[in-house]
Amino acid sequence: MVDGWLDLMRNVINEITPAEAAAMQTDGVMLIDVREPDEHALGLPKNALAVPRAELEKNPSAYIFNVDQKVLLICASGARSIVAAEKLATLGYRKLFNVLGGFQRWSAEHLPLEDNGLDPDFNERYARHLRLPQIGIDGQRKLEQAHVALIGAGGLGSPAAYYLTAAGIGNITIIDNDVVDKSNLQRQILHTEASIGTPKVDSAATAMHALNPRVKILTQQQRLNADNVRSIIADADVVIDGSDNFPTRYLLNDACVDLAKPLVYAAVQRFSGQMSVFDAGRYRGSAPCYRCLFPEAPSDEDAPNCAEAGVLGVLPGVMGLLQATEAIKIILGIGQTLSGRLLQFDALAMRFSELRIPVDKECPCCGISKP
């Protein structure tokens, strides 16, 4: 029985290269692309018929009118199309051709493609995002139109900036008044030995442009203060707090609440880090702000900064990467953010833990009694 089935498959299914398939197309042979719609949106072989595999297998006669008709089948790599061919063979179709290597090989060999309206750099650079149903073309375009304000180009800001740039966030504002010091290089990966003594915002912009020249970077070499904070974050869709002091955190929190901007917070010290999303400005009464968690700043003795207490070099990398993740999710409107939750990371134990952050109804910044 098995041998008979194998003989059937060998007799009716032929495996051919993409170049051979393209040549057969010129003779009028139909090419059916059995990938999913989100994959079809990324590009199609020229003159291919886009029919998802399940749809083709359910009703093949709607697309193939004769069991003796020659049919070319292609998917991403050749795996799904051979399964589709086997199903069609059991239904009586006798002249089936599976394209080896699928659309990936078709594209690599520069065979003709349908115009999908995407510029080649966008299509290639963000190819792995475009294949995610939760992102796709529309989501990637949303990322490219987004604006993120990044406060600090140091330990937290470095990994956040790198991954936001790589992800295709179209507009990034970086604010930092410091210059690169050799002691920064142990954790602030945007900067190099050659950039010591230069403004961090300039060093950051150079590294980010080298990674993704599509991104527009606005630099602000100044300290965040009450006079400039609102103008700096006014056009941002998301604000990332990569600062290292409490006055800046409170200042930034209050401005984000007033301007209804989601704030992605993180802090690190020695071997531990914590982060959350504060979105009280958009969800007053249901989402907490930074002051709900820390009504008052601790003393300098209780909360020394990294220069005083030290920090494991990779720790801000972990937390900054998670900040970039939350920012991307917020822009795309996918998943569940850390709003209302404090994520804590212990690098020595390699353990994450989580605490709920309740809304403080009497919070002087976001409480329900506030206008």
Domain ranges of the chain: 2-116, 128-356
Instruction: Give domain 128-356's CATH architecture.
Output: 3-Layer(aba) Sandwich (3.40)
**Strand 216-220, strand 13-16: pairing:** unpaired
In whole angstroms, give the CA distance from residue 216 to residue 214: 7
Element (DSSP H or E) covering residue 121: helix 120-125
Q: What is the mean pLDDT of the chain?
A: 92
Please give the Cα distance from 147 to 145 (Å, whole number).
Answer: 7
Question: Is residue 221 pLDDT above 60, yes or no?
Answer: yes
DSSP state of 315: H
Name the residue among 203, 201, 243, 251 with its Cα closest to residue 225: 251
Q: Which helix (H) or strand (E) holds 160?
A: helix 157-167
Number of Cβ within a 10 Å radius of residue 29: 15
* 308 or 214, which is more confident: 214
pLDDT tens digits, 177-218: 999 999 999 999 999 999 999 999 999 999 999 999 999 999
> Is 306 marked active-site?
yes
pLDDT of residue 80: 96
Three-state DSSP state, 199: strand
Question: Which one of 306, 363, 365, 366 is the catalytic residue?
Answer: 306
pTM score of the predicted model: 0.81
Check if 2-116 and 128-356 are the same fold: no
Report the range of poorest mean pLDDT among 47-56, 75-84, 345-354, 361-370.
361-370
* Fold of domain 2-116: Oxidized Rhodanese; domain 1 (3.40.250)
Helix (H) or strand (E) holding 30: strand 30-33
